[in-house]
Amino acid sequence: MKNIKVIAAFVAGAAIAGSVATASTNSTSVVKACADKRTQAIFLSSNGTCPSNRTLVELGGSAMNTKAISSLVTPSVVSISVTAPSGSGTGSGSVYKTESSLSYIITNNHVISTAASSGTIKIELTNGDQIAATIVGRDPGYDLAVLKVNKGNLPVIALGDSSKISVGDPVLAIGSPLGLASTVTSGIVSALNRPVTTGTADAQSYVNAIQTDAAINPGNSGGALVDAAGRLVGVNSAIATISSGGASGNIGLGFSIPINEAKRVIDEIIATGKSTRPLLGVSFDSSYTGVGAKIFSLTAGGGAEKAGIPDKSVIRSIDGVKVANSEAAIVRIRSYAPGSTITVVVDLPSGGSKSFKVTLGSTPSL
């Protein structure tokens, strides 16, 4: 059997940390929109009605209207080009927030990290306009970044609820693979809670990812994964590729950062320019080869110590989700906000298992 490894869709270096997939109860609602009879452009309807020059359409429900959703969402997804001393590249992003004179774009950290200290970043709108962008803040640990452009009143992408999607739900991936702007591909949610690590040793990110078979290729990074109602449920971040020979590209294994996880980080960056991440208060034993995550040491005053977890315990599950190894434990922990209380089940050094309630600490992400 060929070995498979996961690489970031914009830069190389990722690995699947575990293999946990769970489905949640689906509660996809219907969103009403208006299709312009002349241009076929789609606009959200605030009251469920449309003027005479537009036709009412419904998005969501049991089927996906890919044509309508593509028309609705594509104007909110931008292409990103980066030029820096260490090289250039392209990626994607979504308009997250807009005001009268400026707008915020969300993307992956690995799309823009080469220009963090020097270089230029530009976004391109669907009408071809190119606008200079600056970095508001970035978080390598979550592979997220926020850009700002001095152009207001851009079409903002609607936010969904990634906790409400289920395995098998239809999704669209929208972005600029290989620099081809406004590319739309369709697929389904293949798995949830898929622990994925990407990046390099000095910029490692941990994602409790949505897995999809919607075609994602280099350049799709930072683009939108939307549900059947055209709402953002994930930020496309990484792909899997065959490690032995052949060019990298889509093989039906793409990974997106759930928007519920991303939103906290994005909002913190917009508000303060920085973000935080949760801390369990342990370091893991990298030499441990058994199932679970073995604690090498406890942080004095950290959440794990306060909860009474003994040193050298092996974490087996977090809030009911089994933990395969230390990377999967880190991914799971980072899916929570600082200050959250989680249930950690461990195998005790003395034998037997025990459940502990742990309140997560907080630390700056960058």
Which residue, 274, 289, 307, sits at the end of a domain?
A: 274
Q: Are 147 and 107 in contact (CB under 8 A)?
A: yes
pLDDT tens across the length of the chain (366 residues): 333 334 443 333 344 444 333 333 333 466 777 777 776 677 777 788 888 888 787 776 556 788 889 988 999 999 999 999 888 889 999 999 999 999 999 999 999 999 999 999 999 999 999 999 999 999 999 999 999 999 999 999 999 999 999 999 999 999 998 888 889 999 999 999 998 887 665 567 888 999 999 998 888 999 999 999 999 999 999 887 766 555 566 778 899 999 999 999 999 999 999 999 999 999 999 999 999 999 999 999 999 999 999 999 999 999 999 999 999 999 999 999 999 999 999 999 999 999 999 999 999 988
Asked whether residue 320 falls in the same domain as residue 342, the answer is yes
- The pLDDT score that the predictor gives to residue 7 is 42
* DSSP single-letter state for residue 359: E
Q: Left, alpha or beta for 71 (phi > 0: left; psi -120 to 50: alpha)? A: alpha
Q: Could you tell me the CATH number of the domain that includes residue 334? A: 2.30.42.10
Bridge partners of 6, per DSSP, are: 14, 240
pTM across the whole model: 0.82
Q: Are 239 and 217 in contact (CB under 8 A)?
A: yes
What's the domain range around 237?
A: 1-274
Distance between CA atoms of residues 166 and 238, nearest Å:
20
Asked whether residue 262 falls in the same domain as residue 137, the answer is yes
| Contacting residues for 364 by C-beta, under 8 A, at least 6 apart | 274, 275, 276, 277
Going by C-alpha positions, the residue among 80, 36, 28 that lies closest to residue 56 is 36
Asked whether residue 37 falls in the same domain as residue 129, the answer is yes
Which residue, 274, 289, 318, sits at the end of a domain?
A: 274
Asked whether residue 337 falls in the same domain as residue 266, the answer is no
Asked whether residue 151 falls in the same domain as residue 252, the answer is yes
Asked whether residue 157 falls in the same domain as residue 298, the answer is no
- The pLDDT score that the predictor gives to residue 61 is 59
Q: Are 134 and 119 in contact (CB under 8 A)?
A: no
Asked whether residue 166 falls in the same domain as residue 105, the answer is yes
SS3 112: helix
- The pLDDT score that the predictor gives to residue 23 is 33
- The pLDDT score that the predictor gives to residue 125 is 95
Bridge partners of 294, per DSSP, are: 314
Asked whether residue 208 falls in the same domain as residue 303, the answer is no
Which residue, 210, 240, 274, sits at the end of a domain?
A: 274
Q: Are 347 and 353 in contact (CB under 8 A)?
A: yes
Distance between CA atoms of residues 103 and 231, nearest Å:
19
Q: Could you tell me the CATH number of the domain that includes residue 85? A: 2.40.10.120
Asked whether residue 236 falls in the same domain as residue 114, the answer is yes
How far is C-alpha 225 from the chain's CA centre?
Answer: 9
Asked whether residue 52 falls in the same domain as residue 171, the answer is yes
Number of domains in the chain: 2
Asked whether residue 201 falls in the same domain as residue 77, the answer is yes
User: Which run of H or E residues covers position 196?
Assistant: strand 183-200
Around Cβ 58, how many Cβ atoms within 10 Å? 15
Active site residues: 110, 143, 221
Q: Can you read off the two tokens belonging to residue 65?
A: 């209207």
Asked whether residue 288 falls in the same domain as residue 247, the answer is no
Q: What's the angle, vertex CA 112, arms to CA 109 and CA 114, rounded to 5?
A: 110
